[in-house]
Structure formats: C-alpha cells, structure tokens
Amino acid sequence: MINDKNAQKIVDIIQNFARKHSIWVLAYGTGCGAIEIPPTMTSRYDAERLGVRGAATPRQADVLLVTGYLTVKTLKRVVRVYEQMQDPKYIIGFGSCTINGGMYWDSYNTIKLLDKYMPVDVYINGCMPRPESVLGGFAELEKLIAAGKGDGATE
Amino acid sequence: MNTIYLLFTVLFGGAILTFLLGKLSRILYYIVFLLTMAAAVFVFYAQIRIGDTVNINVDDMQLQWGLTAFGWLFSLMVLGLGLLAAIYSIAYMKGKDRLGYFYLHFLISIGAMLGILLSRDLVSFFIFWEIMTWASYFIVVYSGKDVQKTGIRYILFSAIGAYAMLMAIVIIYGQTNSISIDDLAVNYSTFSTSLQIWIPLLLITAFAVKSALMPLHVWAPGAYANSPMAYTAVFSGALSKMGIYGMVIVFVTLIANLPQGVIIRDIIAWLGAITAVMGTFWAIAQDDAKKLLAYSSIGQLGYIIVGVAIGTSFAMMAALFMAIMHALFKGALFMAVGAVERQAGTTDLTEVTGLIRKMPWTFIASLISIIALAGIPPVGGFVGKWMLYESLISSDHYLLVILIFFASTAGFLYCYKFLFGFFLGQEEKEWEHVKEAPVMMVVPMMLMAVMALILGVFPGILLKPVDVAMQSMGYAETYGHLWSMSVLFNEWGNQVMLEPLFYAIIIVFMVFLVFLVLKGMKGTRYVTTKDISTSGEIPLEHENLTFKGNFFQPFLRAVDPVMKRQIMTYYRQIGDGLEAFFDFIRRVYSGNGQTYAIYVMIFLVILLLLKDSLFG
Amino acid sequence: MGEFFSLLLGAVVTFILAFFVGITYGGLTRIITARVQNRIGPPWYQNLLDIVKLFSKKTAIHHGAMHFMGPAFIMVTAVVSVLVIPVLNEGRWFPNLNFHGDLIFLLYIMTFGPLGMALGAGQTGNPNSAIGVTRGLSQMVGFEIPWVMALVALMIQYQTTSIVDLMTIQVETGTWIAFSSPFAFMAAVMAMFGMFRYAPFDIVGAPSELASGPISENGGKYLFVMMTAGSVFAFAKLTLYVDLFMGGADNLLILVIKTFALYMIPVLYGVINPRYRTEQAIRWFWGWPSFFGLLAILQAVFF
C-alpha cells in the first residue's frame, strides 16, 4: 500500500522492532527437549524479559519450537500446526535431534534432519540445551528478525 | 351492514369457506385463506373507528360490541402478527395434510381474539374467550401426538380459568343485574368487601392461565412446542396477550379502587418476577429449540405481568411496549424455528449445527430477534427493559429489580444457546443438504426483525398508540414527560437519547468491521470449521467435534437446588390423591344386592333419628 | 456540524487516551506479576509491542462473516463505554456522549461485547471456544448480581441514574460515595474481580485449561482488535468505578493514580490465587458479595 521506499523502510523498522521484542512461542512440546522450556520461562531464567510468551494455539503464535525428536506421526501433526500459524512465522530447531538426529540417530521411527521437512531459522544445540542456550537462541532469532531475514516460508 | 358485523362475517365465514372450498383444490385453500386475512385487516383498520358500538339484545341481556383505543392497541398484535403468520403458514404447511382443519381453526381463533378485543360486555367476552380456547386447542393437537399430555392439560387449565371467570360473571350479574363492563367499573365500589376481593382474584386466575403465570403455566411448554410453528407464532405472540389485556382491565378498573389492592398487586408482581426467573432457568436447561422458546415466552410474560401489576403509568407503558415487542421478536423466532424444522427436519439443538452459511437470512432475522429478546441496545427490547427498571426503582420495588435483572442476565445464556445451537458451531456432513427457507417464510421474519430494530431507535412510533391507549384507560398523558420520539426520560429527569447512541454504535461497528475485512485482504483465506487448532490433529470428516450436549452444565449445577422441584409434580400429586379418593368412593358400588339393601336401611334409620331436626 | 466534529475529535482523543493508559496498565501488571514471582518481567510498554506485532501479521484466516464481526462487537462495547463514561469532572478536554446515556444503558452495553465475541467465536467451530463461552456467560451471570445490587443501591440512595449526577453529588458533598455507601463499594469491588477476569475467575480464557477459550481461533488482526478493545474497556471500567465511588478526577494525573490504585486490587489478589471452577465462582458471587449488595440496598432504603 505504501509506495515510497523510505516510508516502507520506516514501517519495516517499527514492525521489526515490535516483532523482535514480542515473540509468542507455541506451547507445543514435541519431544523430550520440552522439559527445558519451563525453567526458561519461569523465575530463574526469565524469558519474559525478552518478550517471549507462551501462546495457546497456532493461530496466535509466531514461533514454533520443535523441541527434540520428531517421529513420523508427530511430523504430520507438526507440519499441520505450522501451516495453521500466521505469517511471519519462524521455526527454532531445539536440541541436537533436529540437527542431525541426536540420540536417535539410528532409529527407524524418527526423522533425522529437520531442515529437509520444514524451513528452520535458528538451531539451538545441546541435549538438552541449558536455559542460557535457549535464551541465546532467542537472541539469535531477534537478530534475524531485526535484519528482516528469517521469514522462513521464503527459504 | 355495520362494520363490526362485517368483520365477524368475513372472518368466521371465511373460515368455513376455506374449509369447504379447499376440498375442491389445494390452491383454493391458500387463496381463500389469504383473502380472508387480508379482508379482515382491511375491514378492521379502514372501516372500524374507535368508539363504534353495536348492541345486540338477547332476552333481557344487552350484548355490546365496540372498539376502544386499548383494544385497538392489542389488535395491532393480533392482526399484524396474524397476517404475517398467515403468509408464513402458506409456505410452512406445504405438503402437510388436513390443511382445511388448520386454516379453519386459525381463522376462528383470530376472529375470537378480535371478538375479545371488541366485547364491551362480560358475556360476549366469555363466549369469545371460550371459542378462542377451543380453536387453539384443536391446533395444539393438530399433529396428533401427545394429545393426552399437551392437549388435555391445555384444555384442563383453560377450563379452570374459564370457570373461574364464569363464576365471577355470575356473581357480578347477581349484584348489578347488568353485564356491561362499564357498569361494573361504576358499581364496583358498592359491592361488599369480600366480593370486592373475590371477583378480581377469580378474574385474575382466568387471565393468569392464559398468560402462563406461575403456578398455572404447566400447560404452556407442551402446547407451544406441539402446535405447528406457524400457529405458535400467533399463539405465543397474540393469544397470551389476551390474558394481559384482561389483567390490565382488572387491575385498572377494579383493583385501583380497592383499598386492599396493594396486597394483590404485590403478590402478582412477585409471582411475575418468580415466573421470569424460573422460566429463564428452565429455558437454559432445554435441548429442544421449541421448548426453549416456550419457556422463554413464559419468562418474558413474567416481565410484562410485573409491569402490569405495579400499575404506575411508567410501569404500564413499559409493560405494554414490552408486550408488543415480545409479539414481534417471539413471532420471528418461532418462525425461524419453523423454517429450520422444515429445511433440516429436526429442531433438536444437540443435533442441528452450522446452518449459518446455508440459511443466512434466517440467521439474520434470528440474530436481530435474539438481540431484541436479550434487551441489548440498539434493538427494541432495550427500551422496554429500561422503562421497566426505571419504573420499578422509582416506585420502590427494589428486590423486584434485582430479580428481573437476574432473569434478564440469565436470559443471555439461552439466547446464546439458541443461536449457537442452530447456526454456529461445527458444520457437519448430515446438514450439508439444508437450503435457505422459501421466500414466503423469510420475508415475514425479516419484516418483524427490521421493525424491532427500528423501534429500538425510534420507540416513539409505538409509544404514541400506547399512550393513547393508556389515556383511554384513565392514565395521564406521558408524551414529553416520559418519552419523546427517540429519547426516554425517567421520573428523576435522567434521560437516554437513543438516536445518537445508535449512530455511535453503528459507526464504530462499521469502522472496525471494514478495517478487519480490508486489512490484509489478499492474505486472508477462508478455512472450514474442520481446520481448527486441535493440537495438530487433523479431524476426519466423520469425527464429531460439536459441543452441544450439556451446554451450560456449570450454570445448571450452580442453580441446581432451585430447579429440583417442579410445579407439575404437585399437580400430579393432587391428581393422584383425587384418584385415590375417587377409587375409594367407587367401592360404594359393590354390585351386591344385599349391600344396597343395607344402604337403604341405614338411610331410613338416619332419617328416623333426625326427623325432628330435619322436618321440624 | 461544528459540534459534531468537536464531539468526534473528543471521542478520538478519549479513545487514544484510553488505549495508551490501558496498554500501560497491562504492561505494569505484567511487571508486578513478575516481581511477585521473583523475576524481572518485560518492559512496561510490552503490551504495545505485542499489539503492533499482531497488527503486522501478513496473513490471516477466517471462518465466515461472523468471525469478522466478533471482534467488531467487542470494540463497539469498548468504544461506546468510553463515550458514555465521563472521563474528567468537567467535560472540557474529553467531551463525549455522557449526557446521552445512563447507568442502565451502560450495564447493557457492557454485556453486549462478550455476547458478540461469543457469536464470533461460535462460528469458528472450535469446541474449546464454545466451552469457554459457556463458562464466560455463566460467570457473567454470577458477578452481575452483586454489581447490579450495588448500582441499584446507588440509584436509590441518590435518586438518579446518571453518572454525571453521581459525580456532581460527590463534588458537592465533598465525600466519596465509597465512604457514604460502603457496602455498595464493597459489593462492587468484589464484582470487579469477575469483570476483569483475573484469578481466581480466569477460567474462561485460561491457556492451559481450554486452549484459551473464545480467542482460540483469533490471531493476527482479530487479536489486535481484541487486545485494543480489552485495554480500552479496562480503562473504561476503571474510570466508571472512580467516577461512581471515588469522586471522579479533576485532571489526568489524579485519574491515573486513582484508577491504578483501584486496578491493583484485582491484580494483586489474582497473582497469588489459583482458579475457581465455574460453578464455584458463580456460587461465590452469590454468597458474600450479594450479601453486601443486599446490605447496601437496605442501607439505601432505610438510612
């Protein structure tokens, strides 16, 4: 709607600033990595300082946190959940299982490389990552959003 | 011929003509029926003036028929609703049998209601009252099922009321030797005190049965639910108001002159408030849309009775306004239920679902009517409720205000249940075939809904005839003092200006609706109701995600202690007790000749013993 | 025409004021909740960032026409409430429609929003929304009773139904209505718990209970409208309480202080409480708060 290049840039800056500091994570623990989410959100490693909040349904969420391994069954549901989210949306691959299969590298039932199925923006390494790593991952995501990159669907 | 005779000839003659001519061809049914209704409306509004009277002399009683302003007000409901329901019933009754029977009794009941409004004397009032009950009874049992439960119950309670009325009429005739209502009003204060109390009580019993006041309401849910929806619109819209008509006359002419009248007023007002609350509770518990609306009618009539019983001019205005609004929106709602019943086959709220895309016009009419029922501005029900609250507060009935407000807030629950049950919610495969109702069914509904909307912004349109009617009953004029075209005042000088508020509401609504639709319009796509956030699970076509059963379970659990006892149980217990008593008496007929001989002997002995005191 | 434009301008200014004050209160609530839970919490403008982010969502879904109308209805409630409730003691800076409506109209308009939202949520077909709506409506019946009792007591005692008149009475007599009708104030504050839907009465939209209930299918622009409406409506309700019970406000600073002090009551009570089930909540509202409401009416009638 806005034709002026500079006006578009200003709008983008404001929007990215807001998106950066208000990240709503879908409360969906897909694997055993989800156990590190409660400590991150609660008092000791407060993630709400960064504006990170839990969202109840995919319609309200920005970030899908794929925590850990995905079985084939769960993959089907996670893809559907991802499709139900609204743009702009991001995926954070949480734990080693999303990077190279992690602990279940030779299982018949899990998928090994998340990147082959869904466009991942940020990976957080570890099995399970400590809350400080999780906060670092969110900070990484914030940098991506501020730079205007990471709109995962385009990748 | 005098126009009043013409009116009755048109209606009753037209009824018989419909019945006979329709046997030749079905089209004739529709044509003659509609012509009769249209002719009746024309004759009534074009030819009969207020103040016309007709006298008929039978033996030494003089029957008097004439139109008063108050009767004219109620005739708006009877004829307006009757005409729209007649148009609706053409499409509704398509394909059903025994049409002649239905149309005959429809027209007779309309004629009888007009007769009630036109009678200026008690005997013709009673005659038309009985004709009305009789005709509506036949329509209640039209479908042939539940005749015992609903039909007999209806006739029984109506008979109780009618005989109470007859007793009162006989007493009045014995006292004043005249049957005119005007003479009664004049001579009433000359009766003895006990008669002065008994006569209004008897008359109120009769009218309370028809307007479903607790505890005489037990016939109403079955009767409203069982009759065809085209007639239930008239039944609950206009017929129940005949009870209100009678009650207003009793309260204004009789009880106003009675020193102990205050007690009767309070009792009836409290009964009305309790009816409102309990009717609402029972409506929330219903799963069938017809029963839900029936109980809701009982509740709404409770509000009207409270207004009538309080009796100040403000309260009476509120009650009469609410009566007409109730006819409008309840008529539209019953028609909507009829439309859904015709298209979908059932009116069970736990089964039907998701009709909003398939029957949009029905939905819009129901939505506006439900908003009117709930009493939310800017639609008309708010005006009536506002006036009722203000009149109750300024006449010092504080606890009644709490009860009425409680009933009104709880009313939101069944309003939502009705809308959600039929139109919103999941869209299931078995209702895929449902199409919009035919035009002849939709147009009356929409007309009534739009009128409810207009009356919400410009209530003065309706308040003018109400004011004239009240002036004819002896109240002072209220224009400018309590209302003007679109402003409402109360007795302390506060006001609510409906027009600017209405514009504010509409402007804000449109602004945000347009914003929501236009923002990101290219990026917004339509998804079906199966694409919902169900934790990632993909619901299959046959899976049932409809939440309809045990709706409002938390609320019903919270009010459970109050709903444990039903009044019908007490009536059944009385009935069982009487049956046991009669069973006992039956044993007198033992069939044994020797027992009868003993009876004769005992009788003779008693006669002998008491012969002195009996035969002096 | 000039009057209409000044009214329109006043309405827009009032709306913007209500929006920003409501946003700030939301953010401050989150900080206070966080501090009570021994953590730091987001910055005070966090709700504003949330709202801008929701506005900037690029795609959306809809389930039909009613889905659009749901948030529009709730916005109608919020805006009309702000228009009808006088913001400051003299209407110079924030002229609005407050001479055109009164308390009973306000009562009914305040219930219009949740009902409209319920209709919008109904069309989505999500059973969670339907369950949330039934709970919300049932709870509304619960808290409306002490609220109406308190208001009726006020109406009887001061013989008026206009909010402006009640404010004038407080200015004239110099005492707050909170002190001259204490039972009404207590009943109204207890009803306020239900209105603001903080714990223990937050079962309606609890994320872990039923996937946030009525708002479960609303994201992006719908949630934008709803959060805005929620903030504006919260401000409207608080201003109503301050006008009715705490003497109104002469300037913005006093208004902000009074409304914030009042707002802390449900927030601080809620932050340490678990949830009631719906029927427990309804029965609680019909217990002590209604008793205080009855006492308020008795006091108004006899004293």
Helical H runs in B93-152?
99-118, 122-140
Nearest to C162 among B405, B494, B553 (CB): B494
Q: Does A148 touch chain C (CB under 8 A)?
A: no
Q: How far apart are CA B128 and CA B134, in angstroms?
A: 10
pLDDT of residue B72: 87
Q: Could you tell me if B55 and B2 are in contact, meaning their C-beta atoms sit under 8 angstroms apart?
A: no
What's the CA dihedral at C3, C4, C5, C8 to 10 degrees? 120
CA distance B321 to chain C (A): 18
Q: Could you tell me if B518 and C241 are in contact, meaning their C-beta atoms sit under 8 angstroms apart?
A: no
pLDDT of residue C186: 92
CA distance A53 to chain C (A): 10
The C-alpha angle C68, C69, C72, rounded to 5 degrees, equals: 105
Contacts of C74 in chain B (CB under 8 A): none
pLDDT of residue C91: 58
Quote the DSSP letter at residue B396.
Answer: T
- Token couple for A49: 């300082």
**Is residue B201 predicted with pLDDT exceeding 50?**
yes
- Does B535 contact A78 at a Cβ distance shorter than 8 Å? no
Instruction: Kindly state the average pLDDT of the residues B170-191.
Output: 80
Per mean pLDDT, which range of B135-144, B145-154, B404-413, B445-454 is the poorest?
Answer: B145-154
Which H or E run contains A65? Answer: strand A63-67
Contacts of B490 in chain C (CB under 8 A): 161
Instruction: Kindly state the average pLDDT of the residues B285-310.
Output: 92
pLDDT of residue A1: 53
Nearest to C125 among B374, B425, B519 (CB): B425
Q: Is B10 exposed, middle or buried (0-12, 13-18, 19+ CB in 10 A)?
A: buried
Express each pLDDT in C149-176 by its tens digit: 999 998 888 888 888 888 888 888 888 8
Per mean pLDDT, which range of A145-154, B207-216, B433-442, C176-185 is the poorest?
Answer: A145-154
Residue where the block lists tokens 């059973």? C127
Q: Per the structure, how many domains does chain C have?
A: 1
Q: Could you tell me if A57 and C212 are in contact, meaning their C-beta atoms sit under 8 angstroms apart?
A: yes
pLDDT confidence of A151, banded at 50, 70, 90?
low
Contacts of A19 in chain C (CB under 8 A): 53, 56
| pTM reported for the whole predicted model | 0.90
Instruction: Kindly state the average pLDDT of the residues B422-428.
Output: 84
Rg (CA), chain A: 16
Express each pLDDT in B354-397 by its tens digit: 888 889 999 999 999 999 999 888 888 888 898 898 888 888 88
Express each pLDDT in C67-77 by its tens digit: 888 889 999 99
Phi, psi for B41 (deg, rounded to 5) = -60, -45
Instruction: Kindly state the average pLDDT of the residues A93-111.
Output: 88
Express each pLDDT in C203-245 by its tens digit: 887 777 777 778 888 888 888 999 999 999 999 999 999 988 8
pLDDT confidence of B611, banded at 50, 70, 90?
confident
- Does A57 contact C219 at a Cβ distance shorter than 8 Å? yes
Instruction: Kindly state the average pLDDT of the residues B506-533.
Output: 84
Q: Does A8 touch chain C (CB under 8 A)?
A: no
pLDDT of residue A155: 35
Nearest to C41 among A22, A42, A49 (CB): A49
Q: Does C119 touch chain B (CB under 8 A)?
A: yes
Exposure b/e, B195-218, CB count within 10 A at least 16 = b: bbbbbbbbbbbbbbbbbbbbebbb
Instruction: Kindly state the average pLDDT of the residues B567-580.
Output: 89
- Other residues' Cβ atoms within 10 Å of the Cβ of residue B479: 14
**Is residue C23 predicted with pLDDT exceeding 90?**
yes
pLDDT of residue B37: 83
**Is residue B558 predicted with pLDDT exceeding 60?**
yes
The residues, any chain, with a CB within 8 Å of residue C156's CB and separated by 6 or more, are B393, B398, C297, C300, C301
**Is residue B173 predicted with pLDDT exceeding 70?**
yes
- Does A48 contact C41 at a Cβ distance shorter than 8 Å? yes
pLDDT of residue C19: 93
Nearest to A19 among C56, C61, C212 (CB): C56
Average pLDDT over chain C, rounded to whole?
86
Closest by CA position to B230, among listed B440, B8, B75: B440
**Is residue B67 predicted with pLDDT exceeding 90?**
no
C 51-90 residues with CB < 8 A to B: 57-64, 66, 68-69, 71-73, 75-76, 79-80, 83-84
Pairing outcome for strands A90-94 and A122-124? parallel
Nearest to A18 among C52, C211, C215 (CB): C52
**A5-9, B126-130, B609-613: which has the highest mean pLDDT?**
B126-130
The residues, any chain, with a CB within 8 Å of residue C271's CB and separated by 6 or more, are C32, C33, C36, C37, C198, C199
pLDDT of residue A3: 64
pLDDT of residue C129: 86
- Does C52 contact A59 at a Cβ distance shorter than 8 Å? no
pLDDT confidence of A150, banded at 50, 70, 90?
low
- Token couple for B138: 């036949």
pLDDT of residue B99: 82
pLDDT of residue B294: 93
Express each pLDDT in C76-133 by its tens digit: 999 888 888 888 776 556 666 666 668 888 888 888 888 888 888 888 888 888 888 8
Q: Over pLDDT 70: what percentage of chain B?
A: 99
B 263-322 residues with CB < 8 A to C: none
Question: Collapsing DSSP states into helix, strand and coil, what is residue C276?
Answer: coil
Closest by CA position to B89, among listed B436, B423, B445: B445
List for chain A the helix, strand, coil content (%; round to 5): 45, 15, 40
pLDDT of residue A154: 42
pLDDT confidence of B279, banded at 50, 70, 90?
very high
Nearest chain A residue to C60 by CA distance is A86
Q: Does A88 touch chain B (CB under 8 A)?
A: no
Q: Could you tell me if C133 and B416 are in contact, meaning their C-beta atoms sit under 8 angstroms apart?
A: yes
Helical H runs in chain A?
5-20, 37-41, 72-84, 97-100, 131-146
CA distance B522 to chain A (A): 12
Contacts of B533 in chain A (CB under 8 A): 57-59, 81, 84
Express each pLDDT in C40-60 by its tens digit: 889 999 999 999 999 988 888
Residue of B284, B412, B486 for testing the chain C interface, max C β-carbons within 10 Å: B412
Q: How far apart are CA C171 and CA C182, in angstroms?
A: 17
CA distance C33 to chain B (A): 28
Q: How far apart are CA C14 and CA C91, in angstroms?
A: 11
Nearest to A77 among B523, B531, B537 (CB): B537
**Is residue B301 predicted with pLDDT exceeding 90?**
yes
Residue range(s) defining the domain that contains residue C92: 2-302
Which H or E run contains B320? Answer: helix B313-344
- Other residues' Cβ atoms within 10 Å of the Cβ of residue B542: 7
- Does A84 contact B523 at a Cβ distance shorter than 8 Å? no
**Is residue B477 predicted with pLDDT exceeding 80?**
no
Quote the DSSP letter at residue B479.
Answer: B
Give me the residues paired with residue A71 across strands: A110
pLDDT confidence of B587, banded at 50, 70, 90?
confident
pLDDT of residue C95: 61
Nearest to A57 among B523, B533, B538 (CB): B533
Q: Over pLDDT 70: what percentage of chain C?
A: 95
